Amino acid sequence: MHTLSRLIRHSHSHRRRFFQAAFYSAANKLFDILPEVLIGLAVDVVVKGERSFLAQRVLGYFGWTDTWSQLLALGA
């Protein structure tokens, strides 16, 4: 019998724990890369100012045009 099919057959009684583990694994990976993304956005704000990614209307316009409000939004 194939190993993966044996694992799936055995995991039916542990389905909730399996999905919890998958969720926490994905959340862990997200929180692992989040600091690098935030640092990159902060550098973009400082370098480009009013032309940064947060000031663009691509993802919606929140009125964050000046550098200080963009950095406050990143901090939040």
Q: 């990614």: which residue's tokens?
A: 53
Give residue 36's pLDDT: 94
Q: What is the pLDDT of residue 76?
A: 82
For residue 54, report the phi and psi dihedrals to the nearest 5 degrees: -70, -25
As a whole number, mean pLDDT of residues 14-28 equals 92
End-to-end, the C-alpha distance of the chain in Å comes to 51
Between CA 42 and CA 53 the distance in angstroms is 10
- Per-residue model confidence as pLDDT tens digits over 44-72: 888 888 788 777 765 556 667 778 888 88
**Could you tell me the pLDDT band of residue 1, with boundaries at 50, 70 and 90?**
low
Identify the pLDDT of residue 67.
81
Say what the pTM is: 0.63
